Amino acid sequence: MKEQYLITTKAEMDARGWAELDFVIISGDAYVDHPSFAPTVIGRLLESHGYRVGIIAQPDWNDVNAFKVLGKPRLASLVTAGNLDSMLNKFTAAKKHRRDDGYSPGGESGRRPDRATVVYANRMREAFKGVPIVIGGIEASLRRFAHYDYWSDTVRRSVLIDSKADVLIYGMGEKQIVALAEALDTDKLGKQLPTIKGICYVDNEVPEGAIECPSYEAISTDKNIFAKAFKIQFDEQDPYYGKAVAQGHGNRYVIQNSPALPLTQEEMDHVYSLPYTRKWHPMYDAAGGVPALAEVQFSITSHRGCFGSCSFCAITSHQGRIIQNRSHESIVEEAKRMTTMDGFKGYIHDVGGPTANFRHVACEKQLKVGACKGKTCAAPKACPQLNTNHDDYVSILRKVRNVKGVKKVFVRSGLRYDYVLDDNNKEFVKELCEHHVSGQLKVAPEHVSEHVTTIMGKANKSYFLKFKSWFDEANRKLGKQQFLVPYFMSSHPGCTLEDAIELAEFLRDQNMTPEQVQDFIPTPGSLSTAMYYTGINPLTGEPVYVAKKGRDKAMQRALMQYKREENYDLVKEALLKANRRDLIGFGPLCLIPPRYIKRNSSTSRQQQTLHEGKHAGSGGSRKGMSKGGQKKNSGSKIGIGVRKKKK
């Protein structure tokens, strides 16, 4: 049977005998027919409910005719910026243009506008007046209220206001889009809007029972009020007890209905059973395809949601704290389908979710009354009620690796090692090292200063060191040389220069040399971004130090790579500023020598060798370092990798 994609041209409509479409999806990403790409999931789900759906991927936003190629949709235009916020996709933490775009054909950058949701929605309104517009995806979801925008350094209005859309879907969207489709098809959209969970709309008054949070005008002029508004929004992000929230914008209100209920296992199985080709559309073959597919084409999503509650992460606001999972049968069936695909070489690259080993709900009461307000499940300390059992996840991994045609199953989505320790589960670590690590296992301590990890919502460094000892022990017994790949972040709110020096000393002592460093980027909607903008922790009201000046951020970053010659001046400046002259010298605990030593002089090379050779944990010269940052033939079981973008 010939593979069938969503409609992309009028000719394809004619071939199916369709005069019009019910929905047209406008996407900032290239069209990849895979369940890791949200526009595809929504399109396939609507098709399964009998609707006719087409997709216009990365239209030329300067030409309104590019938005008319599939004709006027009967029910609505569905608009998304894609799998990433369009500003994050385009700009680095330093606000410089990224060189490439993994979600575009050939990795070519510049194929989507800034603030794509707003631009696309307004173009569709221009193209087809009177056709309802529904916006969704991560950009719309996290910008649903008035929010701080790092790239313009301003507080911006809700994207629903700026886009002039009729409805905003926040969260993953399956339940919402089906409910909206039915309301549109029966011409009851206006009447049904207040009843559909997981959406936002605009009204002239605050609905009965809704909580009113401070307006856009108020939060854009007072950071204390911004923090209060954020806490109200944060506290109502639960599908069981969350109330509707209203925020004024001028004489109108953005109304957020309570979040959508979690998908049942049957519903989630259905979503992943839809007829995805798991390929990019053939129109991109000449450009070499779409790079973002490589990471996920032969990966399996086993669950959604995350109760880790990392302050800088979008998952809490987008997927929620309540885990939703697929059945073993559904996962195994997907693995079997993979083995029949062109290009499959026997390796399944991942089985997991936002956090690989968060397979089930944190505790059973979450499915009855929701996640506890004002409390965290896993960090900085585990809740006594937290279910840490790993048996179900291990069972899935065993079943998938036993599928005929599968040679190896890797775990590459983030692993919460503190959760493993809370389960006191050395057997899980042994099985992981024996069967599911591809030479490296990535984990995310993020920092080592305890007050910083607490603000981040992460476990302290003792958890990492204990897990490392378990990991090393398991590999030693197995006779394997495998490495941990820990990620660290610079300039997160709460991190002072002294904290950055503490991290540098930790890297020294652990013989770690990060090849790349992740600077904190204040993405819309996260708790950390609210702290970055206001200098306040909205959940506690306490002040938080924020490194905002370019020089301060550069010093924190340089300290994490203190052995690099180009960082010498910044590191020395940081150490002098923090009154840590004890770390400047040739002693075993020093980070840098007293003066910059040029390597093109034989005398200097001898001095540098002396410095590096005596430097405890220095790792010696950077010669002999692999691309991933592991020291070749070293006894150290640690490597440093590159943080990949969140999908």
SS3 168: strand
**Mean pLDDT within 170-187:** 97
Strands 167-169 and 199-203: antiparallel
CA 428/CA 433 separation, integer angstroms: 9
Closest CA to 290 of 33, 81, 4, 92: 33
Tokens representing residue 30 in the block: 């290239």
CA 28/CA 115 separation, integer angstroms: 10
Distance between the two ends of the chain, CA-based, in angstroms? 31
- Could you please report the per-residue DSSP string of 79-141? EE--SS-HHHHHB-TTSPBPS--TTSGGG-S--S-TTHHHHHHHHHHHHSTT--EEEESHHHH
Q: pTM for the complete prediction? A: 0.90
The DSSP output letter for 49 is T
pLDDT one-digit tens code per residue, 309-348: 899 998 888 999 999 999 999 999 999 999 999 999 999 9
> What percent of the chain stands above pLDDT 70?
92
Q: Which of 34-38, 317-321, 577-581 has the lowest mean pLDDT?
A: 317-321
CB 125 within 8 A of CB 164: yes
Q: Residue 108 to residues 83, 89, 112, 118, 284: CA-CA distances in angstroms?
A: 16, 12, 10, 22, 12
pLDDT one-digit tens code per residue, 259-316: 999 999 999 999 999 999 999 999 999 999 999 999 899 999 999 999 998 999 988 8
Positive/negative CA dihedral, 127, 133, 136, 139? positive
pLDDT band at residue 3 using 50, 70 and 90 as cut-offs: confident
CB-hemisphere CA count at 13 Å for 4?
13
Closest CA to 640 of 495, 511, 503: 511
Angle between helix axes 550-560 and 497-509 (nearest 10 degrees) is: 10
pLDDT band at residue 638 using 50, 70 and 90 as cut-offs: very low
pLDDT at 614 over 50: no
pLDDT score at 53: 98
Q: What is the mean pLDDT of the chain?
A: 91
pLDDT one-digit tens code per residue, 87-139: 999 999 999 999 999 999 999 999 999 999 999 999 999 999 999 999 999 99
Q: Give long-range contacts, CB 8 A cutoff, 24+ apart: 451-454.
A: 451/494, 451/499, 452/492, 452/494, 452/495, 452/499, 453/379, 453/380, 454/380
CB 433 within 8 A of CB 480: yes
Beta-bridged to residue 27, according to DSSP, are: 57, 80
pLDDT score at 598: 61
CA 397/CA 340 separation, integer angstroms: 19
pLDDT score at 617: 33
CB-hemisphere CA count at 13 Å for 392?
18
pLDDT score at 631: 35
Tokens representing residue 108 in the block: 């070519």
CA 163/CA 140 separation, integer angstroms: 10
pLDDT at 605 over 60: no
pLDDT score at 516: 77
CA 457/CA 375 separation, integer angstroms: 11
Tokens representing residue 190 in the block: 């206006």
pLDDT score at 620: 33
pLDDT score at 317: 87
CB 88 within 8 A of CB 521: yes
Give the helix, strand, coil percentages of the chain, each rounded to 5.
35, 15, 50
- Could you please report the per-residue DSSP string of 267-289? HHHHHHHS----EE-GGGGGGT-
pLDDT score at 464: 96
**Mean pLDDT within 458-469:** 96
CA 319/CA 250 separation, integer angstroms: 30
**Mean pLDDT within 45-72:** 98
The DSSP H or E segment spanning 303 is: strand 303-304
pLDDT band at residue 8 using 50, 70 and 90 as cut-offs: very high
CA 76/CA 599 separation, integer angstroms: 64
CB 357 within 8 A of CB 415: yes
The one-letter amino acid code at 374 reads G
Q: Which of 343-357, 380-394, 632-646 has the lowest mean pLDDT?
A: 632-646
The DSSP output letter for 67 is G
Select the highest-mean-pLDDT range: 145-149, 564-568, 613-617: 145-149
pLDDT score at 117: 98
Closest CA to 3 of 218, 196, 279: 279
Angle between helix axes 550-560 and 568-577 (nearest 10 degrees) is: 110
SS3 387: coil
Positive/negative CA dihedral, 280, 283, 289, 291? negative
CA 583/CA 573 separation, integer angstroms: 12
Phi, psi of 575 (to 5 degrees): -65, -40
Positive/negative CA dihedral, 393, 397, 398, 399? positive
Q: Residue 265 to residues 70, 271, 302, 331, 608: CA-CA distances in angstroms?
A: 35, 10, 11, 12, 60
pLDDT at 602 over 60: no
Q: Let me know the angle formed at the C-alpha of 314 by 311 and 317, rounded to the nearest 5 degrees.
A: 95
CB-hemisphere CA count at 13 Å for 415?
28
pLDDT score at 596: 67
pLDDT score at 106: 97
pLDDT score at 196: 98
pLDDT at 646 over 60: no
Strands 483-490 and 440-446: parallel
pLDDT score at 597: 60
CA 626/CA 622 separation, integer angstroms: 9
pLDDT score at 163: 98
